[in-house]
Amino acid sequence: MFRRARRFLRGDPPVSPMLQRAHQMMQAGDFANATLAFHDLAKKAEEAAPERAPILYAEAGRACILSGQNKKAIAHFRSTLTLLGTQGRFQRMERMGGRIIQELREHGLTAEADEVATVLKHNRPQSDGDEIEKALKKRPLLPTHCPSCGAALRPDEAEWLDEATAECDYCGSPVRAEA
Ligand SMILES: [Zn+2]
């Protein structure tokens, strides 16, 4: 709250329009600019809203892959997984790590996928059996996009506030599951 107020007083633009623009760049296929925008948002989030930073780095990484910047992508994915591990959010780490590895393989980037798998492994807690099992539990359907910021939502990865409400990773808005 305090940080938010201070940011406002400093006169910086609020995060939400920037985030919406970044999502729009992704959807428009402007991946080179999208990666810069998401990276910028991720760096800002590390200070102002650390829980948002991992997915913003992941999206920066995706945009890198889609614009052929594989090395930079791995650096962003490393930030995603290391931050989640440091924050003790191991279920998210497993889900996001799993998706990143899958996407890299789909793009034929096997070496990069292996590198991310190693990062994931190093960030795992010692006894992770329960966490992985919980991480793979099925969840209800969500709308495809966040009504507030326009992010594409992934039910398997969302942070659930209760049985029927998830939180948008990008902007923190609650999103109701579809009946
Ligand atoms: Zn959102």
Do 108 and 146 belong together in one domain? no
- Ligand 1 centroid vs 126 CA: distance in angstroms? 33
Do 113 and 166 belong together in one domain? no
Domain coverage including residue 147: 138-179
Do 144 and 117 belong together in one domain? no
Do 64 and 122 belong together in one domain? yes
The pLDDT score that the predictor gives to residue 13 is 46
pLDDT tens figures, 69-96: 999 999 999 999 999 999 999 999 999 9
Quickly list DSSP for 42-69.
HHHHHHH-GGGHHHHHHHHHHHHHHTT-
Report the predicted TM-score, pTM, of the whole model to 2 decimal places: 0.74
pLDDT tens figures, 16-47: 799 999 999 999 999 999 999 999 999 999 99
Do 109 and 158 belong together in one domain? no
Q: Where are the beta strands (DSSP E) in the chain?
A: 159-160, 165-167, 174-176
**Domains in the chain, number:** 2
- Ligand 1 centroid vs 76 CA: distance in angstroms? 20
The pLDDT score that the predictor gives to residue 156 is 75
Do 66 and 152 belong together in one domain? no
- Ligand 1 centroid vs 23 CA: distance in angstroms? 10
What would the mean pLDDT of 87-115 be, rounded to a whole number?
95
- Ligand 1 centroid vs 21 CA: distance in angstroms? 12
Do 177 and 98 belong together in one domain? no
User: Is 151 in contact with 168 (CB distance < 8 Å)?
Assistant: yes
Do 101 and 150 belong together in one domain? no
Do 91 and 9 belong together in one domain? yes
- Ligand 1 centroid vs 154 CA: distance in angstroms? 12
- Ligand 1 centroid vs 152 CA: distance in angstroms? 8
Tokens for 93? Answer: 């780490």
Alpha-carbon distance 104 to 7, whole Å?
Answer: 36
Do 16 and 88 belong together in one domain? yes
Do 133 and 149 belong together in one domain? no
